[in-house]
Structure 1
């Protein structure tokens, strides 16, 4: 199977990839399958290696080191495969899309993965604390001394993996949220509304289970710490929803507060700048005036030079780009001046 895939995938990718560029199915493959899948494989492999190491260090297993770490070659192999898949398709996505859109989609996918790990860590933390507080309520807990070591290893793994993945990519998107285009983007809205919806549904499910346990205990006249122990996972779900749901609700409210009045939001432009090799300063200045990243194409013609544009000229150029009739704009800049073209 692996040999067949190694033969068929490059052939199909080389022959049909170019014709499908820009198509929704190709975007689905790049982002939902390749990028998200590669990241998931890499993160899962790293988490597996980290969890196994922490479990051994904390004494959660009585196995000898050689026997315990037999999982390590498989985890390292999966990590290399995931990172390779992830890196290659991210480079492809950067080449094929306007860079800001590609980076945005990529960041929100990774933010969602990191958030999932943090939610699981919050849930496990609460469930473990409740189990420790009520360990006499069930004999199965008291009969396993040191049972919490394994939970602690898993909790640390989720936190150590989830925090950097979530924080770095969410921090990038929050910095970009000063732009109206970022706040109005589909990827951001899907992430925020999806997080809120999951928090609400999880809260309803956890609360329903707790109410069932409570009513059942009252009817049987057996209201004790066992109710809390049996409902520890539901308590964890409620705690995770209470932590992360309101946070994303506040982020959504902040987006709405900073949004301009209806009709004032300019349409997002996909700007491509064609410049010579020495046009880097012009591109940076234009990005600063536009408040967004642009796609850069380098001219192969020798000696085209770079334009000399004043701040007032850059402001005027930004106005021309915003007023362009189409969503896609090409800016051609050389020593002779700057031209703006709108295209489909």
Structure 2
């Protein structure tokens, strides 16, 4: 089978592309490298440097489907520059869907996010809970979910939207390359804490230690990026023509900010200074996924659910790429890491 992977030079896209190649598929990666890395394109994939809007020049009837990861994804930036997010995430996907329709490519897996839920009333969060995003990033992802549903009903697209919770870890592929997380700027908790362990940041800021949780800090659901990638391959054949499947992807367990920090200390053997700061607006105390639908419909089971193992994979990758984009020495942020 032949697939186009938009945003395939980024963190999740590169790991999914590697899994596709290992499964024997033919892969074309389309990425403008604005946030991705050329080194993140797996060996064996055809690489095209370009935007989502350029997909029409690549797609033809020889493709069996598209896996769509290309998006602006910084929550804070989306608040101060919302037009960028609507233009790229929504406008770009409109053009991608048109290109797929024109080429007769009728299968799509979309990288959605738990940010579509906003501040849920309770946990674990199911796909039937209200979607009420609290920032433009989540709003644009939800808009694309709605757009895809309309495309399925009107034009027979078979599609799955996978709503990620906190993705972490790294993947050692069969091509001898390890693919991991190196956003610039970084906003996710585990790589930020690892930067403190490396001496690249002075401390990690913990925003609030008075939440109604066992240790007072926020609790989040962490999923290993390789488990996430496996769900994408299963999702390619999950939805019949004309239907739009939405699934949460998480491990169903939560770890607090303090648990993550302490696990990094144990795994790395390095001190990690903390700075306790005021709570941030919009940070729910607990965000944990119910992934029962993905288990039932996709036949998916996350297997890398141990926090120490996830941190160890991320630490090994961080040491390999220690000379990569630095983030300065200012205190880090705890980050929700929602997709």
Q: TM-score range by the shorter chain?
A: under 0.3
Greater radius of gyration (CA): 1
- Under a length normalisation based on structure 2, what TM-score does the superposition of the two structures give? 0.26
- Under a length normalisation based on structure 1, what TM-score does the superposition of the two structures give? 0.26
Q: Specify which structure has the bigger relative contact order, considering alpha-carbon pairs within 8 angstroms and separated by 6 or more residues.
A: 2
